[in-house]
Amino acid sequence: MADAKVIPFGSPDDGHERGGAYERSGQQGNERRGGQQRQQGRPGGGEQRRLRAGRADGYRAEGGRAEGDRTKGDRTGTGPTGTGPTGTGPTGTGPTDAGRAQAGQTDGGRHDAGDGPGAAWDGSVWEDRAAKALAFLRRRVTGEYEVDDFGYDAELTDQVLMSMLRPLYEKYFRVEARGVENIPADGSALVVSNHSGTLPLDGLMMQVAVHDNHPAGRHLRLLAADLVFTLPVVNALARKAGHTLACSEDAAALLSRGEVVGVMPEGFKGLGKPFSERYKLQRFGRGGFVSTALRAGAPIVPCSVVGAEEIYPMVGNAKTLARLLGFPYLPVTPTFPLLGPLGAVPLPTKWTIQFGEPIPTDGYPPGSADDPMLMFNLTDQIRETIQHTLYKLLVRRRSVFF
């Protein structure tokens, strides 16, 4: 113990010597371990590097093959090791290609060409659409289409007119239709509604609501004023869309054929009323629509439209100029005629169309249609039903535009 040499722990020279000794002993240990590994068939340091390089090349090759498989539509969801290439890290276990394919997506969020919404872009779909369009044009040119006695063209209405009105219905006014199922699935019915908006867009939106939402696919045949059928272009379009003159004879003829007929008893009194009287129903006439429904035995469906009153806020009426032009009124709004043609663009209000419970008329005795007191009571009942429904919808409405 007396001969033992004490070496200072912090001596740099001795530290280097110890480091070299440790390094030499480490190398010798590695050589011994490498020899033992080679003897046991395990790769040493150089061979490990070569194997790692080979595995990297294999991963790249497997990745190329996996990409090719995805192009062919074979999404197995496994990489070379079953987990690594599909996860968030080198060996993660994230969503596989099969799971993404079930969600309708592949790498990059693209839809498959033959699956999901992307299938709409398939060439065969466009070929079918083009064939239908050409067949439609051929029938229009050759006259191979049916028109009833009133000029109603069902094919043109379904494929053209409704398609033109649908963006206005769905995107601009964002119409919410309620109670469409209250219209009978078959047989005749008379839909009675309030009328407003300066221009008769409410009737057109009602027609789209019934056409697109009724479970049985019923069509609404509107009764229009005489003025509609005196305008050159509007006359032809109204006839093609199934509208007819607002008279008892035409209404009775349509109801006898089992059609759904729409009428707005307020007429121009409701359509051209000032903005200060919005949602206040005007007089419903002498009840001629009730008499027609009683004679046909057709149920009466009250309908309330909210949102049309504000599309053209009528703050004035140029009566003298309207009389010279032959119009019942000439509206003055905050934007028309101040902004010229731009003032004719309606405001994008939010609409609600509520179809109420049908009122049966087939239980009355014969000759009831000639009873003036009964006509008055039924007319007043329908008017009050629509008015109360309007008040309820206005209370629930959050905003004019939303």
Q: In the predicted model, what is the mean pLDDT of residues 170-194?
A: 97
Residues 6+ apart with CB under 8 A from 219: 154, 157, 207, 210, 211, 242, 259, 260
Q: Are strands 244-245 and 176-178 parallel, antiparallel or unpaired?
A: unpaired
The token pair at 255 is: 């109801």
Tell the residue number behind the tokens 């008279």, with chain if given. Answer: 247
Q: Is 343 exposed, middle or buried (0-12, 13-18, 19+ CB in 10 A)?
A: middle
Residue 7 has pLDDT above 80, yes or no: no
Q: pLDDT tens across 18-42, in order?
A: 444 444 444 444 444 444 444 444 4
Contact in structure between 150 and 244 (CB atoms under 8 Å): yes
Q: pLDDT tens across 228-282, in order?
A: 999 999 999 999 999 999 999 999 999 999 999 999 999 999 999 999 999 999 9
Residues 6+ apart with CB under 8 A from 68: none
Q: In the predicted model, what is the mean pLDDT of residues 42-67?
A: 45
pLDDT of res. 48: 46
Residue 384 has pLDDT above 50, yes or no: yes
302 strand-pairing partners: 192
pLDDT of res. 121: 52
- Measure the CA–CA gap between 240 and 251, rounded to whole angstroms: 17
Q: pLDDT tens across 361-383, in order?
A: 998 998 899 999 999 999 999 99
Q: Is 151 exposed, middle or buried (0-12, 13-18, 19+ CB in 10 A)?
A: middle
